[in-house]
Amino acid sequence: MKRNQAFRIHAYGGPDALRRDDVPEPEVAAGQLLVEVKAAGINGLDAKIREGLLRGAFPLPLPATLGVELAGVVSRVGEGVTGFKVGDRVMGPLAGLGAYANFVAVNAANLALTPEGLDDVAAAALPVASLAAWQSLRAAGELTPGQKVLIHGAAGGVGGFAVQFAKAEGATVWATASATSRDHVLKLGADVVIDRNAQRFESLAEGIDLVLDLVGGDVLDRSWQVLAPGGAIVSAVDLGISAKTPVGRKGIAFATRPDAARLRLAAEAVVSGKLRSTIAEVVGFDQIPAAVERVRIGHAPGKIVADFTR
């Protein structure tokens, strides 16, 4: 097997905590595939894990390889796995950690075959963002045409897909974004884009059936007042939303689940041009720690993806 290198944390901390190490070949358990990673999406979750912000909810044995989604090639098939063979191109969320390594063992059920016409960088941009968008929009119940949806963080990886999915369901889509991301979010189909720095969304939006919170903090706190009676806030950021949900309101904490069939549909929609996937930046394997920090601080619209072949 080729050399296996990984970006791992040995202790929680800032950007320097993520270090490149030689690591052993992963064990491949029954039901798993060994994947040679070709590209990995960078996520906001990475810096939260690196800094130890989630250690209460998800204690982590250290050292730990970061990275939650990938595209790559099957290099070994574990016992009991059907539907995949060595050499297949695959993509998916890990539902765990380890994508910032040359090789990782992944539950086969999490992975979809990468369609022809989608390269590995494009494939690695999809799993978490497209599944999070699709699932979070439905976490409070099915969307119905004519509903008003407000998406905070609409310029980001998740938000970009959420705007398109909500629009495709016939919703009226309100979005918050910075002024520089405005045109991008409008092109994705938003009906109204509120400048998050210059305007107070709560003085413009009202009667919102669903708020999708991809930002948290005071943006979540200020969102209760824009809800229609019976409306809901789904937060992908604040796991403690239930405790702060006012009486008579609906607040739902959301966590993405693997869904290989849905991921494959999203990938096919990207290939056919029905769904736009925006890649803000492609970096090399060496640049993963800096890219993780850039996602934390703020970046151009869309996803940052690490291309391991660079």
Tell me which stretch binds ligand NAP (CB under 6 A): 59-67, 77-85, 149-157, 268-276. 149-157
Q: Does 297 bind ligand NAP (CB under 6 A)?
A: no
Q: Please, what is the minimum distance in Å from the beta carbon of residue 101 to ligand NAP?
A: 21
Q: Please, what is the minimum distance in Å from the beta carbon of residue 152 to ligand NAP?
A: 5
Q: Does 223 bind ligand NAP (CB under 6 A)?
A: no
Tell me whether residue 70 or residue 215 sits nearer to ligand NAP (CB atom): 215
Tell me whether residue 270 or residue 295 sits nearer to ligand NAP (CB atom): 295
Binding residue (CB under 6 A) for ligand NAP from 45, 121, 188, 269: 45
Binding residue (CB under 6 A) for ligand NAP from 24, 87, 248, 298: 298
Site string for ligand NAP, 163-202 (x = CB under 6 A): -------------xxx--x--------------x------
Beta strands in 112-226 (DSSP E): 112-113, 148-152, 172-177, 192-195, 208-213
User: What tokens appear for 218 in the block?
Assistant: 């005071």
* Neighbouring residues of 292: CB distance < 8 A, sequence distance ≥ 6: 15, 18, 42, 46, 47, 50, 66
Per DSSP, helices labelled H in 222-310 are 260-272, 288-297
Q: Which of 20, 32, 29 is nearest to 102 (CA)?
A: 20
Reduced to 3 states (helix: H, G, I; strand: E, B; else coil), residue 200 is coil
Q: Which residue is nearest to ligand NAP (CB)?
A: 156
Binding residue (CB under 6 A) for ligand NAP from 255, 272, 274, 286: 255
**114 Ramachandran zone, left/alpha/beta (phi>0; psi -120 to 50):** beta
**39 Ramachandran zone, left/alpha/beta (phi>0; psi -120 to 50):** beta
Distance CA 262, CA 126 (A): 11
Give the footprint of ligand NAP on this chain (CB under 6 A). 43-45, 128-129, 132, 152-153, 155-159, 176-178, 181, 196, 214-215, 219, 236-237, 254-256, 295, 298, 301
